[in-house]
Structures are given as C-alpha cells and as structure tokens.
A and B are shown apart, each in its own frame.
Chain A
Amino acid sequence: MTTTTRVMFPRMPRGPRQERRYLERPRQQGLVQRAVVESFRKLDPRQAVANPVMFVVWCGTALCLLLTVEPRLLDAQAGAPERGFNALISLTLLATLLFANFAEALAEGRGKAQADALRRTQARTQARRQGADGSIELVDSSDLRRGDLVLIQAGDVIPADGEVIAGVASVDESAITGESAPVLKEAGSDVAGSVTGGTRILSDQLTLRITADPGKGFIDRMIALVEGAERSKTPNEIALTVLLAVLTQVFLIAVATLPPVAGFLQDAPSVVTLVALLVALIPTTIGGLLSAIGIAGMDRVAQFNVIATSGRAVEACGDVNTLVLDKTGTITLGNRLAEEFLPVGGHSVAELAEVALGASCFDQTPEGRSIVRLAEKLGAVLPFAAESASGIDFSARTRMSGSDIPDGSEFRKGAVDAIKGFVRSRGGEVPEALDQCFERVSRLGGTPLAVCRGADVFGVIYLKDIIKPGIRERFEQLRRMGIRTVMLTGDNPITAGVIAREAGVDDFIAEATPEDKIAVIQQEQKLGKLVAMTGDGSNDAPALAQANVGVAMNSGTQAAKEAANMVDLDSDPTKLIDIVTIGKQLLITRGALTTFSIANDIAKYFAILPALFAGVGLEALNVMKLASPQSAILSAMVFNALIIPALVPLALKGVKFRPLSAEQLLRRNLLVYGAGGVVAPFLGIKLIDLAIGALRLI
C-alpha cells in the first residue's frame, strides 16, 4: 500500500534512444535540501507570526542578537559585556527556529513533491469540442467549460473531468491511482461512467460531457490538497494552539515580572538569560512540530492512496464511532461463486443446471458467469438459441433476472421470495422443499438463488460467499478501539446473520436498500456518534454526504466523489479501517508531543532557575549538578533546540498506533511521553552540560 504516485506521462519520451528518459518518481532526495532552503525562508516575520509560540522565540532571538552586537543596549550600567555567551544563546535560539521551520518544510515538501508529479499530468492539451450542431472544433483544454461536449480518441489525454455520454473505451488511470491495468469506461454505467482529467484513453473513443471548469477538476483539487495550499487548521489543532498560546502568555508574564522580584534581592538577571528562561518554558517542542504533525497526517493518508478533502476529515476519522460497511467487497471477497445446485420438486440436478444456464446466459455479472461455468461443468447445454431469446436484467425492485424465449418460456433466477411471487403469479405451486433448501443455504452463509421456468420451480443455486481472510481480527481490533461495525447487505436475514457472525461485525442490516444506509447513519448520529462509510454508486452520494466520514471509491461516480470527504484511489473499501487508524495516530501524536513538551518544563526549571539566581541560595535546586550557571542555561537551550529535530521523525511518521482500549493506551503513552518527558531532559541537559564542559565552550 505504499505506492507513491506513478506517473504516466502526457507525452511519451521521444528522440534518439540514448536521450529518451522517463521522468523519475517524485524525488525524495531533493526533499531535504528544499526543506533547508525553505526553513530559512520561513524566518520571514510575516510567516513566523502565524505560530504564536514560535513567534515569541523569533522575538527573543532578535533581541538576543541585538544584545550580542551591543550588550549594553538595555542596561547602560551592565557589567562586563558577555558577548560570547549572548552569541551562543542567540545561535541556539536561531537553531530552534530553524529546526521548527525545517520540520514544517519537510512535511510540506513531501506533499509538494507529490503535487508536482500530479501537475505534470496536467499539460495543456487540445480537445475536440463538439458544437450544438455536431460540428467539431479544436480548442485548448483550458477553454473547456462545464457542460461542453468533447470527443476523445485513443491516445488522447482526457482534457478535463467528465461524464461519458457515448462510447466504450479503456482508460489508463495510473496517473492518479498508480494502478497500471486499464479501466473500462462506458456510458450509462454508474461506476464506469466518469473519467478524470489527466488520464489517458488507450483504445476506441468516447464522447464526454465536461463536469468541471478549468482549475476545479479532480486533479486540481488533489494538487491543492496534497500541497497543503488549502490546509486550514483543524478544530482540534486550533484548540491546542489556543492553549499553547495562553501558556506562552502565562510564562511571558511569569518571566517578565521576574526582574523586579529578583531586583528586590539585588540579583536581577540579564535580559539574555531571561529570554533563555522564557524560551525554555514555553512549549516550543509542540509549537514547532504542531503544523508538521498535521501536514504529515494528510500525507500519510495520501500514501495510502487516499485523498482527503481536508485535515478535518482525517481527524474526524479518529473520532469515528460506527463504521457502516457494505458486505460485498469489504467483508467478503467481491464475487460470490456458484457452489452447488439443489433441486426440488422431483427435478434432477441436470434439469436444474439446464434451467439455471438458461436463466443466466445473459447475466454478465461474476455470479452469473460462475453459474454458467458450474452448469457447463455438469454437462448442461443451453436449452434454446441465444440469438432468439431476450435477457431480463436484474433490478432492485424485481430482485430477479433471466431470459424470455419466443415460445413463451420464462427462465428466471433470483431471490427466493421474488421467485416465489413470480411462480405464484404464473399460477404455479411452490414446493415446501424450496424453503428447506433456502434455509440450508442461508445457514451455510451462502446466498440462495431460486430458479424457475414459468410456473415450475426447479431448485436453488447455492452461491458461496467468501469472507476476506483476516477481516475478523480487524473487527476485533476495532471493537477494542470502541468502534462499532454495521454490515449492510442485500442478503436475506439468515445469510446476513451467518456472515455477520463469522466476520464478527456488531450489527447487520439485511435486505438493505440505499435508503437504509442513510437511515442507519442518521440513527447513529442521533446518538451523538460519528459515522464513517464507503460508497461508490450515485445512490450512495446522499449517504456519503450524511456520514461524518464518507470515503468514495475512485471507480465510483462523480456524484459520489463530490459528496465524499475522501476518495480512495485504489477503490479498496477495507481501507476505511486504515484511515481510521491514521486519524487516531494523528491525534495521539499531537497529544503525546504536547505532553512531552510540557513535562520537559520541570527539568528546565531545575536547570535554569538555580543558575539564574545563584546569589540567593538556590544552589540546592541544582540537582543535576551542572557545571556553571552559564553552562546550565546554555545546556537547557541546546536541549530545547535539539529535541525538535530529534522528534521530527516521530512527528512525520506518527506515534505507532496500537489497537488497545483507551485506558491501556493512556497508561502506555503517559509512561512513554509523560514520564519520559519528565526524565529525558534531566539526562539530556546533563549530557549536554558535560559536553559543553569538555569542549570548553564557556
């Protein structure tokens, strides 16, 4: 699942063979250099002011630099100018700023690299626009507007997002999905009816109705998202920023009021040491890493080949209480296969197979074809000429399909209830054995399909459902995280119950209609729960919009993708579970680093206060036995600076998420980041102090 976006190029490499070069994957090696440059650029006060905690550090750095140049700037009577010490403090402060900027730039850089790769697919192309009178004119792709009709042919790059209104063609969507197998697109189909700008048509031709104005297409949205251009702070991030800003203000007051208080003891500390104390106390670690954590969260989602419309959506994933999952494709392998024929009413297996074959010869679904295969394996032959017959399509209302032949015979297969109704409507009798077969198949977790010809019931086809391996364990994990799973299926209640039990979901809704989906979601939301669901069809769009987290499959319709707040480019419904984990990881990382940052303050106090006020008898508080006051302050500052890059990998990768209960998670993370946050700086500062002593820096 770690495929980075593979790019299919708008133009194939041309020219002499040696000079042909494929564009490389998004460059990872350039990231660090770019981030370094960017971290200096972010020193611009107009950018720095956006982060209140780091802006205080910025001001402190500026002040210390001034005091390095002119130590008597603020206090004309100051004793021996301590230019060297001031310079060292200024440098550590500057390093703190740069490290924080670097973390943010690195996180942004990953997204930018991805965006660049996407942008390359966006080369302007010419498009054949079809006028109202059917005439064709060649226009630039940027001139296309919503509602225009466009004709595209094999080899063209699709100029904009659109809906297929005529034609069948295979399309290479690897530019956005990374999946190289071509996808069939055709008109009138729910799932295969939409195409994305920037992908390439490989065969045949299509007529499209453009559905997005220039710059507003799917790829444009993706670029904006992965690049972080539209990144707005999530509610939780804002709340944390408020708290960090207030803590900063509180410490600002605490430090600013120190000179008169200490002055009463004739021991006023120098401005530079006060700045050092302030920077040590304010939560710079989390302040410096906060935005990087958020960006990295989005990025992790993108690495799963899922595009989130906002960071808010990713965070909401962590809060999800209920997952509404379609059975097919999520819990069971997509395709049910015919396993067995169960004849009733005195018919033989061979007869049943023949009628089943007759009812399925027009059925192109995997289930239908598996019935044909099984029947042919049993030696059945089609009892009529396919050309003369007409197929009856499955519909959600009739819940059956089949074929009509000119002699008036009606071959049908479908839900047992539906067939019963059909048979009775044709004046037939329903044998009791049918219900027994129905039950037998249902109890095996299979789907029973009844088969009849006209008024005569022949038996039941046992369609076997295969539960995805490992899904049960995943649901078990979800339950431990406090997430309820609800399975939706069109199956009858007995089958649904068996599968639900086997897969380990908490609840299921059998014989579900699209309306049921919305009803379930609304019902859960009424209890104050957040609901996540996946969907692809147009009729899923309202439910996707209603759900707190809606993940649309990329194979789905434009309507579904617009209603959803995430799009899964691999169209893998199971991924919802991974996204939930990423959302939780994001919140945990933020909480863990905040706890760590604040816990660090204890040690910093013990390092700096005794050093600051050595004159008033606070030596006993120097529990770390740091060499000298100046070395103590410098050590604390160096620790404060170094801890940011040390934690960058954690911020970018996220705290490892374990599916444990809240209590266990809290205990564990408190131990690591709370207790660790208290102890680590004591060790770190002492070590740095020893190093400073060894290097004779002071």
Chain B
Amino acid sequence: MLPWLLAALTLAAAALTAPALGSHLYDVFDDRPNPAWDRWITPFETTLLRWIGETGRSAESVASYLQPLLLSNLLCGAVALALLLAQPGWLNTRGFTGLRWDLALHTTISFLTNTDQQHLIPEQSLGNLAQLGAMQFLMFVSAASGLAVGFAVIRGFSGRPIGNFYRDLLRSLTRVLIPASVLLALFFLVSGVPMTLAPPLQITTLEGASQWLPRGPIALFEAIKQLGENGGGFLSANSAHPYENPTLLTNLVSTWAMLIIPAATLDAFGRFIGNRRQSNQLLALVFGLLLLGVTVAMAAEQAGNPLLTSWVSGGNLQGKELRFGPALTGFWSVVTTGTMTGAVNGSIDAAMPLTILTALFNLFLQVVFGGQGTGAAYLLVFALLAVFLTGLMVGRTPEFLGRKVEKAQVVWASLILLIHPLFVLIPAALTLAAGAGVNGITNPGSHGISQVVYEYASAAANNGSGLEGLIDGTRWWNLTTSLSLLGGRYLPIAALLALAEGFRRKPALEPSPGTLRTDTALFTGVTAVVLVILGALTFFPVLALGPIAEALTLAS
C-alpha cells in the first residue's frame, strides 16, 4: 500500500506545483517583465547576447530559428567530442585515456540530443573534466535547446512570432535550468549526494579486499539530469546507486523533478493561448495516460513473475534496488520513460514484460509528458491530427486554436509520424537480421526482440534508458543508434518549427457555435484515442512479438 501512496503523493505534488512553475515559464518565454529577476539577470543576458552579436529579435522564418540551433548544437557537440577523444590530464586523477572514436561520437550525440544513452561505464572511462565539461555541459545545453524549441512551437500555436533561439536558449538557462538545478543540487547535497573533485576513495571491505569508491561533483549533475530530462548517470548504476539517489525522499523528489518542467510547460501553453481550460484538459490527458502506465507497471512488479511466486514472495525482485522495492521501481520506470529522462533506479531489462510494454509504449507515444519542451510540442501535433481526423465530422474544415488545419499542417504533422518507424523499426529489423555476431542480444526469443527494439526506440525518442543486458558498446550499436538519435531529435524539431511557423501565419478566426471546441472532455478523449491509434498501432506488431508475447508466455 505504501508504495502506491507515495507514488500518488509524488504525482499529486507534480500536478500541484506545475501551475506555479508554469506561470514562471510564461513570464520567461513571453518576455513579461519580472522586476525581481530582471534586475539581476537582464544586464548579464544583454551583455552576453551583445557579445555574440545578437539583437534578440524574433526569427522571421523557420530557418532563422533553426540555423542558430543547429550551429550552436554542432559547436557544443564538437567541444564535447574533442574532450572525450582527448581526455587531457587536468581533473583526470585516474588518468583515463580518450574514448574510442565511435564510442565518443555516440556519447556526444547521445548527450547533445538530450538522450543520455550510455554505451560506456562512466566511472571507468571518464575523468571529472569529461564529466563536467562534456557530459554536464551538454545536459544543460540540450535541455535548454529543447525548452527553447518547445516554447517556439507554443508561441507559433498561440499566434505569436516564434522567437529568437539565442535569447530562448539563454533565458532557459539563466531563468529556469540553472537556478532550479542549483536549488535541487542543494537538496541532494543535504541528502547525502557527494559534490567533490576529490579522487575516488580506496577502502578495505569487510572481506578485506580493496575497493575503489568512485565519487565526484554528483549533486549538480544529478539535479540537471532529472530536471532537464537527461537521465545520464555520473555512475553506471545511475539512480540505483546510493551516491546518486541516497534516500527514499531523494527517490521521490527525483521523480517529481522529471515531471515538473514538462508539466509546467503544458500549463504555460494554456497561459500563452489564454485558455487554461485547454491546457488543463491536456494535462489531465497526459496524467491519465501516465496513471494508466503507472498502475500497470506497479501492479505487474508487485505481483512478480508467476513462475517464481512459489519460491519468492514480495514481487519481482530481480534487478531491483531493495531500498525502493519492486513497486516504486516500476513507478520510476514509467515516469522515466514517459518523460524521456531515461534515468533508472533499477534494471528495466529485469522488469516484468508488462512494465517493459508500458515503457515501450511511452517511448512510442513520446507525449506522456515527453521530452523537455518537445513533449508538449508533440502533444500539440497529436491534438492537431485529432482535430483534423475527427473535426471533419462536424462539417467544417477543422480548426485548432482558432486556425484552420490544412495541407501544410498535415504534411508536417505526418512527417513527424514517419520519424519513429524510420528510425526504430528499420534499424531494429536490420539488427535482428544481422545475426548474433553483430547484434549483441543476450536473450533468446521475445525478450531479445524487446532488447533491440527498446534500444532504438529509446534512442529515437531521446530517452536514454535501455534493456541493458544488451551488449551495446560495439561499433554497430554506437553508429546505428547515433543515426536514430540524430534523426529522432533534429528532424522532428525542424518539422515542429515549420508547422508552428506556418500555423501562426494563418488568419485567426473567432469561434462560433459551429466550431469544434477542443477544450472539452469529449475532445480530450478523442485525442487520447487518436494518440493511441496513430502513435502505437504502428508498433503493435513488434510489441506483440516482444513484450506481449513474453507476457502471454509467462501467463500461460
């Protein structure tokens, strides 16, 4: 009972705190004056913008928003890649050498795309300089880029100019991510998370063996990992490690931190369009989907493997951190896959098939809050498609947020629908066909399929978690997932911006009784169904052959 209560409490805390942060995000991204912040931060921001020669004027076209995004991301990626390849001696007390090129490339792309899929063991391959200068640096950049895109899209949908990328990036950092991360880091610090540049501690275990205890500047790393929906661990065990997630409280606060910014983004969307009823309906939809997944996963983990219940009691304990137990680990798994964080506090590979099914489902939908900034944008796209498909049934050209949904919108939205099949199903099929020498699959049958599909889905959805039994540090995996990472990040961003920019240029219409209202429970229900059908129907065959077949086999 207790885990259910704690899970409910965490979700409620996220739901209740979202409006406060949402109001702040609205101030930040709609350029509303906020004397307390402006007094200290504006001079700094202005200086920085002037230094790079930016006026901060809104982009007139998609290209003029997209170009600086790609350019700055490329530049940041290049710096990080260089650091990973070289790994100079400074702050590198254990003298790690540079990473193999494909691993360095994959790691850079993975962190740059807000995914943080890790094909390496950080504490055995990265020094503090790489952790801070490459990993943590990219965590901030990618989260801020995501937020910037998310709000550019929201601006477009609300009829405003899409904004200026540099300004958005900067304000995401100075007014949202950095202050929030510092506050959360302080909390982690107090809870016992290390924040040090000291070398690993060598201790003698009770058995008399000598062991290295890796430590580092983890508290801040941990904060941006959760808040920015990054998910990459300072340590390989990620949030299952006591240095990253020391107490039950940090465990719950971490789940809250994954949810809060995306939930607040949706809330801010309502403020942007001046219709909080609409955003509350969307929030209810997403919370509903999340709750559904949480219930399935928690129940499955708590029930445990039916073939083992006669030997083991207390649910599915395999791959779990016993401090948190099966149910709360199931809860975390759903939140982390839904929000595209990808941090883990237990092994998803060892989870029940239904938990894996829920996780995969989240990865395919990408809107159960979804990525930083982009999740809200995807949700708007699905709402737009729902309007287009069902809106015809009221006998008018469908309208969404007071603008007509016509060919251009459908083209961009459809393109977004195509990304996942392209970057998940095709490489997964190639990998499965490639044979054991290449694919690194460590499980026979359905679970093997799940491992492969999950890895690509996690990459394309920019999540980063994995069924980590997979031997994925190979050149094949590094390079193919890099493609999925890039395709799953930048193509949708371009399509989203194009969609939003085209949308805002359409004439705004006054609602009439003949207009289909989208802020009603009925329409929200319709959106949910469209979401499930369009987002998941495509993947039903692989889900059936993977986790569903596994679950049915276990049950029979």
B414, B517, B529, B553: which contacts A617 (Cβ < 8 A)? B553
Bound complex: CA A263 to CA B417 (Å): 26
CB-defined contacts of B529 to chain A, threshold 8 Å: 674
Decide yes or no whether B522 CB sits under 8 A from chain A: yes
CB-defined contacts of B544 to chain A, threshold 8 Å: 609, 613, 618, 621
Decide yes or no whether A378 CB sits under 8 A from chain B: no
Interface size on A, residues (CB 8 A): 75
Bound complex: CA A259 to CA B391 (Å): 37
CB-defined contacts of A598 to chain B, threshold 8 Å: 389, 533
Decide yes or no whether B411 CB sits under 8 A from chain A: yes
Decide yes or no whether A605 CB sits under 8 A from chain B: yes
Bound complex: CA A277 to CA B544 (Å): 14
Stretch at the interface among B13-21, B338-346, B421-429: B421-429
* B548 adjacent to A657 (CB under 8 Å): no
CB-defined contacts of B421 to chain A, threshold 8 Å: 249-250, 253-254, 257
A239, A609, A666: which contacts B523 (Cβ < 8 A)? A666
Q: Which of B422, B508, B509, B544 has the most CB of A within 10 A?
A: B544
CB-defined contacts of B537 to chain A, threshold 8 Å: 281, 601-602, 605
Decide yes or no whether B120 CB sits under 8 A from chain A: no
Bound complex: CA A528 to CA B511 (Å): 10
Stretch at the interface among A20-28, A428-436, A475-483, A563-571: A475-483
* A609 adjacent to B407 (CB under 8 Å): no
Near A by CB (< 8 A), chain B positions 373-430 give 385, 388-397, 405-407, 409-411, 413-415, 417-418, 421-422, 425-426, 428-430
Decide yes or no whether B512 CB sits under 8 A from chain A: yes
* A246 adjacent to B392 (CB under 8 Å): no
CB-defined contacts of B541 to chain A, threshold 8 Å: 254-255, 258, 261, 277, 609
A253, A254, A263, A673: which contacts B393 (Cβ < 8 A)? A673
Known contacts A594-B392, A618-B544, A662-B513; is-contact A246 B397 (Cβ 8 Å): no
CB-defined contacts of B414 to chain A, threshold 8 Å: 242-243, 245-247
CB-defined contacts of B393 to chain A, threshold 8 Å: 588, 591-592, 595, 665-666, 669-670, 673
B389, B428, B510, B514: which contacts A662 (Cβ < 8 A)? B514
**Distance in Å from the Cβ of A178 to the closest Cβ of chain B?**
28
* B396 adjacent to A318 (CB under 8 Å): yes
Q: Which residue of A lies closest to B529 (CB)?
A: A674
Bound complex: CA A242 to CA B385 (Å): 12
* B552 adjacent to A601 (CB under 8 Å): no
Q: Which of B507, B510, B549 has the most CB of A within 10 A?
A: B549
Q: Which of A235, A602, A617, A667 has the most CB of B within 10 A?
A: A617
Decide yes or no whether A319 CB sits under 8 A from chain B: yes
**Distance in Å from the Cβ of B409 to the closest Cβ of chain A?**
8
**Distance in Å from the Cβ of A582 to the closest Cβ of chain B?**
10
Near B by CB (< 8 A), chain A positions 230-270 give 235-236, 238-240, 242-243, 245-247, 249-251, 253-265
Near A by CB (< 8 A), chain B positions 441-462 give 445-446, 448-449, 453
CB-defined contacts of A260 to chain B, threshold 8 Å: 429-430, 432-433
CB-defined contacts of A239 to chain B, threshold 8 Å: 388, 405-407, 409-411
Bound complex: CA A484 to CA B522 (Å): 26
* B548 adjacent to A618 (CB under 8 Å): yes
Decide yes or no whether B303 CB sits under 8 A from chain A: no
Near B by CB (< 8 A), chain A positions 579-594 give 583-585, 587-588, 590-592, 594
Decide yes or no whether B542 CB sits under 8 A from chain A: yes
CB-defined contacts of B410 to chain A, threshold 8 Å: 239-240, 242-243
**Distance in Å from the Cβ of A580 to the closest Cβ of chain B?**
9
Q: Which residue of B lies closest to A482 (CB)?
A: B514
**Distance in Å from the Cβ of B545 to the closest Cβ of chain A?**
6
* A250 adjacent to B538 (CB under 8 Å): yes
Bound complex: CA A546 to CA B406 (Å): 22
Known contacts A587-B395, A666-B523; is-contact A249 B418 (Cβ 8 Å): yes
**Distance in Å from the Cβ of A641 to the closest Cβ of chain B?**
21
* A261 adjacent to B428 (CB under 8 Å): yes
Q: Which residue of A lies closest to B422 (CB)?
A: A253
Bound complex: CA A321 to CA B406 (Å): 17
* B515 adjacent to A482 (CB under 8 Å): yes
Decide yes or no whether B539 CB sits under 8 A from chain A: yes
**Distance in Å from the Cβ of A413 to the closest Cβ of chain B?**
43
Near B by CB (< 8 A), chain A positions 476-525 give 479-484
Near A by CB (< 8 A), chain B positions 314-347 give none
CB-defined contacts of A657 to chain B, threshold 8 Å: 395
A263, A585, A663: which contacts B522 (Cβ < 8 A)? A663
Q: Chain A, 666-680, contact with B by CB distance < 8 Å: what is the 0/1 string?
A: 110110011000000
Near B by CB (< 8 A), chain A positions 597-624 give 598-599, 601-602, 605, 609, 613, 616-621
B407, B432, B513, B522: which contacts A261 (Cβ < 8 A)? B432
Q: Which residue of A lies closest to B385 (CB)?
A: A243
* B394 adjacent to A257 (CB under 8 Å): no
* A666 adjacent to B407 (CB under 8 Å): no
Near B by CB (< 8 A), chain A positions 260-295 give 260-265, 277, 281
* B395 adjacent to A585 (CB under 8 Å): yes
Q: Chain A, 519-543, contact with B by CB distance < 8 Å: what is the 0/1 string?
A: 0000000011100000000000000
Decide yes or no whether B476 CB sits under 8 A from chain A: no
Bound complex: CA A557 to CA B113 (Å): 65
Decide yes or no whether B526 CB sits under 8 A from chain A: yes
Decide yes or no whether B101 CB sits under 8 A from chain A: no
A242, A253, A263: which contacts B426 (Cβ < 8 A)? A253
* B510 adjacent to A254 (CB under 8 Å): no
CB-defined contacts of B515 to chain A, threshold 8 Å: 482, 662
Bound complex: CA A261 to CA B523 (Å): 36
Show 8 residue pairs from A and B whose CB-CB distance is below 8 angstroms, ordered by the A residue: A239-B405, A245-B414, A247-B534, A253-B426, A482-B513, A482-B514, A527-B510, A613-B549
**Interface residue ranges, A against B (CB under 8 Å):** 235-236, 238-240, 242-243, 245-247, 249-251, 253-265, 277, 281, 315, 318-319, 321, 479-484, 527-529, 583-585, 587-588, 590-592, 594-595, 598-599, 601-602, 605, 609, 613, 616-621, 657, 661-663, 665-667, 669-670, 673-674
**Given A239-B409, A253-B422, A609-B540, list of 8 further CB < 8 A pairs?**
A243-B388, A245-B414, A246-B417, A253-B538, A256-B429, A319-B397, A585-B395, A601-B537
- Going nearest first, the 10 A-B pairs with the smallest beta carbon separation are A482-B514, A591-B392, A584-B395, A482-B512, A246-B414, A257-B429, A260-B433, A591-B393, A669-B393, A253-B421
